[in-house]
Amino acid sequence: MMDVGRHPRIELMTFSEVESVTGYVGNFQVTVRKKARYVDASECTACAECSKVCPVAVPDEYQQGFSSRKAIYLPFPQAVPSAYILNMENCLGNNPIACGKCAEVCEKKCINYDDQDELVKIEVGVIITATGMQVYDPTEYDEYGYTRYENVITSMEFERLICAGGPTEGHFIRPSDRRAPQTIGFIQCVGSRSRDGRGNPYCSNICCMNTVKDTLLLCDHYPGIEAKVFYMDIRAFGKGFEDLYMRSKEEGVRYIRGIPGEVIENPDTRNLTLTVENTTTGRLEKHELEMIVLSQGVIPRQDGDSIRKLLTLSTTSDGFIMESHPKLKPVDAPTRGIYLAGCVESPKDVKDSVTQASAAAARASILLNAGKTKVEAITSQIDTDKCNYCGICAKVCPYNAILAPDRKAEKAPIIIQAACAGCGACAAECPQDAITMRHFTDEQMMAQIEAILEVEPHKHLLTFACNWCSYAGGDDAGTARLQYPTTCRLIRTMCSGRVDEKFVWHAFRLGAPIVLVSGCHFSDCHYISAVRWTQKRMDRMWNKLDKLGIRPERLRLEWISAAEGQKFAKVMREIEDAVKAVTTEEIEFTMKVLAEEEAKNKAKKEKRKAKAAAEVTA
Ligand code: FES
C-alpha cells in the first residue's frame, strides 16, 4: 500500500467510491465520489493531538469492537495516506459548532468542518476489479452461542486479539475476565459447506489453513496451551500447507473429526461445554473449553450487486463475480477491458490473490500497450432502414453495447463494435429483423435448417447448441466414445440467446418432429445474462405452440455444460425416443397450421405496408 501511495504513476484515491462507469474497452468514463474526510490529508502529520482532545468514543470497527476510537481517528495504523479522518456521524462539532476541540488544537489547521464530497471524472482504458469479500456473520448458528457467550468469538476477532497491534497488544485473553485461556477450541466450516439452508454450500477455501496458522501462533506464544480443532475435512492443499498442518499436530493440537452440535456456558466459570459426535470413533464427546473460535466462512460483498451493475458483470450462483472462462480466461470479466483480482471472483488466500492480481495487470497491459483492440468477428450489425426505433435491442444487450434509438429524432440504435461480444440476443429479439450477426446471419442459419431437413425430416433431431457448453458437450461425448443417435444434427450458435423464434418455426414448418435448444447452465452463460432471453423466448414459444394446438413438448430446452458429455448423449437418446413418438399426422398438422399462420402474418404485413405507403402519398 505504501509503495502504491508513493508510486509516481499511480494515483491512489482513498475514501472514494465509484459512482458510475460508462463507455467501453479503451474508452471508459468513470465518475468517482471522493468523500469529504474533513481533514486535509496532504497537511495532516498524524500527530494525534486532535484525537486526544476529542470527547466522543465509539466502538472501533477495525479492532472488531474490542476497543474504542474517537470521532476523529486514524482508520488503522498502516493507513495510506497516514492522515486522520473525521466521522461526521460521530462528531459533535458540526453545524452549529458545539465542540470544535480538534480544530483548536490542530497546529497545521487542517480540519475543515465544511468539507464537501467531490465528484471526479476520469477516463481509463481498462478496469481491474479487486473489491474483495466479507466474512460470514455466524449469528444464525445459535447452537454455538455466539450472541450469548462472550467467550465464543469469530476468527476475525481472534486475529485482533492475537495481533501485536490489536487492542490487547497481542496478549491473548478471554473477553469475559481478561484472563489467558488454557483450553481453546476451533469450530470449522461455520457458514461454509452447509446444506441446511444456513450459510453457504461452497468451501470458503481459506479457513482450514487460517485455523492451522492460528493454532501454531497460540502454541508459539503460549507453550502448553491445549488447542482442539473440530472439523469435517481439513483441506490443506497448496505449497507447504500439508507441512504446516503436520507441524500443528506435532505441537500437540488435537484435530477431532466432527462438527459440534451444541455449546453451553457454565455461568459460574464462564467455561464452555461443547458436544460433538466424533465421526472417527463414532462416540459422542463433551469437551470443556475456556474459549471457542468460530472459523467463519467468506461471502461476497453485500454491495456486490451495485458493483456488478456498474460494470455490467454477472455473478455465479454463489454471488461472486463470474470470469469470462474458468480455464482459459480466469482473470477476464465477460465485459471486455475489465479484469478481476482476488476474492471478488471467488474466496482465495493472499498468495492466490497476488497471483491473480499480477495476471490481471499483465492482461490489462497487453491491451494498454497495443493501444487498439481487435473487434470480434461475430458482432451484430443493424440495417437502419428496417429499424422502427423500438429500442428492444438496447434493452436486451447484456454488455450495454447498443446506444438506444431516439424515435423523435429518428435516430437508429448504434452498435458499439468494440463492446459487442456477439451473443446474438439483440438479433433474436429484434421484431423487425433489422439486426443480424456476422457469420451467424439469418440466411446462414435458415440454410443450415433447410439442409438438415431436406431429406427425411421426420427422422432428424434438430438441435441448436451454444458454442461454449452444449456444442462442447457434444464434443466431449464424441471424444469419450459415448453412443448417441446418428440422426442428431447440431447447428452451432455462439449463445443460445441467438436462437431466433423464426428458426424454430421454420424447422417445424419443414417437418421437424422435435426441436431442441440447448445452452449453458443458467449461471454459466458466457454472455452475462443472454441466456435469460433464451428462457423468456422459450416460454413465449411454448405458449404459442399450446395455443396453436401443437404439443409444447416438441420444443425442448436443455442446459448442458462442456463437461457433460454423458448428459448430452443421454438427452440425445431420450429425444430419439421422443421423435419416434411423434406421428406423421402430428407433423403434417404442425406444418399446415404454421404455414397458414405465416401466410396470415405476411398478408397483415403487406396490408400495413400498403397503408403506410398510401399515407406517405397522401
Ligand atoms: Fe451458452 Fe449463452 S453462452 S447459453
Pick from 331, 591, 321: nearest CA to 457: 591
Cβ–ligand 1 distance for 468 under 6 Å, the answer: yes
What predicted TM-score, i.e. pTM, was given to this entire model? 0.84
Q: How far away, in angstroms, is 534 Cα from ligand 1 center?
A: 9
> Hey, is 3 helix, strand or coil?
helix
Which atom of ligand 1 lies at the shortest distance from residue 496's CA? Answer: 4
Q: In this predicted model, what pLDDT tens digit does every residue of 7-42 receive, in sequence order?
A: 999 999 999 999 999 999 999 999 999 999 999 999
Pick from 200, 247, 209: nearest CA to 231: 209
Distance CA 145, CA 293 (A): 11
Q: How far away, in angstroms, is 423 Cα from ligand 1 center?
A: 8
Q: What values do phi and psi take at 263, rounded to 5?
A: -130, 130
Whether residue 335 contacts residue 367, with contact meaning beta carbons closer than 8 Å, is answered with: no
Q: How far away, in angstroms, is 301 Cα from ligand 1 center?
A: 26
Q: How far away, in angstroms, is 587 Cα from ligand 1 center?
A: 29
436: which residues sit within 8 A by CB, 6+ positions away? 380, 381, 383, 427, 442
Cβ–ligand 1 distance for 234 under 6 Å, the answer: no
Whether residue 354 contacts residue 401, with contact meaning beta carbons closer than 8 Å, is answered with: no
Whether residue 185 contacts residue 228, with contact meaning beta carbons closer than 8 Å, is answered with: yes
> Hey, is 215 helix, strand or coil?
helix
Whether residue 462 contacts residue 449, with contact meaning beta carbons closer than 8 Å, is answered with: yes
Q: How far away, in angstroms, is 381 Cα from ligand 1 center?
A: 20
* Angle, vertex CA 90, rays to CA 85 and CA 92, nearest 5: 100
**Domain spans of the chain, in order of start:** 36-116, 134-299, 300-370, 375-435, 440-618
Residue 117, Cα to own-chain centre: how many angstroms?
Answer: 29
Pick from 354, 265, 296: nearest CA to 134: 296
Q: How far away, in angstroms, is 494 Cα from ligand 1 center?
A: 7
Cβ–ligand 1 distance for 559 under 6 Å, the answer: no
Most ligand 1 atoms within 8 A of CB, residue of 518, 520, 560, 568 to mutate: 520
Which atom of ligand 1 lies at the shortest distance from residue 530's CA? Answer: 2
| Residue 49 pLDDT | 94
Whether residue 339 contacts residue 380, with contact meaning beta carbons closer than 8 Å, is answered with: no
Extended strands (E) in 37-106: 57-59, 68-70, 72-73, 85-86
| Residue 95 pLDDT | 65
Instruction: For strands 435-437 and 461-466, give the pairing.
Output: unpaired
Q: How far away, in angstroms, is 65 Cα from ligand 1 center?
A: 46
| Residue 489 pLDDT | 95
Residue 371's pLDDT band (cuts 50, 70, 90): confident
Locus of grid cell 465518475: 31
What is the mean predicted confidence (pLDDT) over 391-407? 92
Q: How far away, in angstroms, is 524 Cα from ligand 1 center?
A: 7
Q: How far away, in angstroms, is 527 Cα from ligand 1 center?
A: 6
Cell numbers at 550, concatenated = 401443437
> Hey, is 458 helix, strand or coil?
helix
Cβ–ligand 1 distance for 424 under 6 Å, the answer: no
Most ligand 1 atoms within 8 A of CB, residue of 468, 471, 522 to mutate: 468
Neighbouring CB atoms inside 10 A of 299's CB total 23
Most ligand 1 atoms within 8 A of CB, residue of 314, 531, 536 to mutate: 531
Cβ–ligand 1 distance for 498 under 6 Å, the answer: no
| Residue 497 pLDDT | 96
Average pLDDT of the chain is: 93
Cβ–ligand 1 distance for 466 under 6 Å, the answer: yes
Cβ–ligand 1 distance for 531 under 6 Å, the answer: yes
* Angle, vertex CA 313, rays to CA 312 and CA 318, nearest 5: 145
Which atom of ligand 1 lies at the shortest distance from residue 525's CA? Answer: 2
Cβ–ligand 1 distance for 331 under 6 Å, the answer: no
Cβ–ligand 1 distance for 347 under 6 Å, the answer: no
Number of C-alpha atoms within 13 angstroms, CB side, residue 71? 20
> Hey, is 234 helix, strand or coil?
coil
Q: In this predicted model, what pLDDT tens digit does every residue of 303-336 receive, in sequence order?
A: 888 998 899 888 888 899 989 888 889 999 989 9
Cβ–ligand 1 distance for 525 under 6 Å, the answer: yes
Instruction: For strands 183-190 and 291-296, give the pairing.
Output: parallel
Most ligand 1 atoms within 8 A of CB, residue of 495, 498, 521 to mutate: 495
Whether residue 471 contacts residue 565, with contact meaning beta carbons closer than 8 Å, is answered with: no
Extended strands (E) in 414-507: 414-415, 435-437, 461-466, 488-493
Q: How far away, in angstroms, is 531 Cα from ligand 1 center?
A: 6
Distance CA 113, CA 98 (A): 12
Distance CA 398, CA 529 (A): 6
End-to-end CA distance of the chain: give it in Å, rounded.
72
Residue 523's pLDDT band (cuts 50, 70, 90): confident
| Residue 314 pLDDT | 85
Pick from 298, 279, 79: nearest CA to 206: 298
| DSSP secondary structure of 409-436 | TTBPPEE-TTT-----HHHHH-TT--EE
What is the mean predicted confidence (pLDDT) over 43-57? 94
| Residue 15 pLDDT | 94
DSSP structural state of residue 386: T
Q: Does domain 36-116 have CATH number 1.10.3470?
A: no
Instruction: For strands 338-340 and 127-129, give the pairing.
Output: parallel
Cell numbers at 290, concatenated = 475456556
Residue 416's pLDDT band (cuts 50, 70, 90): very high
Q: How far away, in angstroms, is 556 Cα from ligand 1 center?
A: 16
Cα 53 to Cα 73, 100, 481: the distances in Å are 11, 10, 78
CATH number for 134-299 (one of 3.90.920.20, 3.40.50.720, 3.50.50.60, 3.40.50.1110): it is 3.50.50.60
Q: How far away, in angstroms, is 471 Cα from ligand 1 center?
A: 10
Cβ–ligand 1 distance for 519 under 6 Å, the answer: yes
Cα 608 to Cα 460, 597, 611: the distances in Å are 37, 17, 5
Q: Which residue puts its alpha carbon closest to atom 1 of ligand 1? A: 520
Whether residue 550 contacts residue 507, with contact meaning beta carbons closer than 8 Å, is answered with: no
Neighbouring CB atoms inside 10 A of 483's CB total 9
Most ligand 1 atoms within 8 A of CB, residue of 314, 469, 490, 521 to mutate: 469
Distance CA 50, CA 37 (A): 14
Cβ–ligand 1 distance for 526 under 6 Å, the answer: yes
DSSP structural state of residue 321: B
**91-109: burial string, b at 16+ Cβ within 10 Å, e else:** bebeeeeebbbbbeebeee
The helix (H) or strand (E) run that includes residue 272 is strand 272-278
| Residue 375 pLDDT | 87
| Residue 96 pLDDT | 62
> For the structural domain made of 375-435, what CATH number should be given?
3.30.70.20
| Residue 315 pLDDT | 86
Pick from 6, 28, 265, 286: nearest CA to 147: 265
Whether residue 21 contacts residue 313, with contact meaning beta carbons closer than 8 Å, is answered with: no
Check the CA dihedral 385-389-394-396 and report its sign. Answer: negative
Number of C-alpha atoms within 13 angstroms, CB side, residue 51? 18
Locus of grid cell 440495417: 383
Residue 44's pLDDT band (cuts 50, 70, 90): very high
> Hey, is 463 helix, strand or coil?
strand
Q: Does the fold of domain 375-435 match that of domain 134-299? A: no
Provide, for the chain, the percentages of residues in helix, strand and coil under a 3-state DSSP scheme, each rounded to the nearest 5: 35, 20, 45
Q: In this predicted model, what pLDDT tens digit does every residue of 450-488 receive, in sequence order?
A: 999 999 999 999 999 999 999 999 999 999 999 999 999
| DSSP secondary structure of 170-209 | T----TTT----SEEEEEEEETSS--SSSS-SS--SSHHH
| Residue 97 pLDDT | 72
Check pLDDT > 80 for residue 505. yes
Cβ–ligand 1 distance for 469 under 6 Å, the answer: yes
What is the mean predicted confidence (pLDDT) over 166-190? 94
Check pLDDT > 90 for residue 608. no
Cβ–ligand 1 distance for 86 under 6 Å, the answer: no
| Residue 316 pLDDT | 85
Cβ–ligand 1 distance for 538 under 6 Å, the answer: no
Distance CA 229, CA 216 (A): 12
Cβ–ligand 1 distance for 569 under 6 Å, the answer: no
C-alpha gyration radius of the chain: 31
Cβ–ligand 1 distance for 520 under 6 Å, the answer: yes
| Residue 5 pLDDT | 87
| Residue 94 pLDDT | 65
Q: In this predicted model, what pLDDT tens digit does every residue of 219-257 receive, in sequence order?
A: 999 999 999 999 999 999 999 999 999 999 999 999 999
Distance CA 534, CA 557 (A): 9
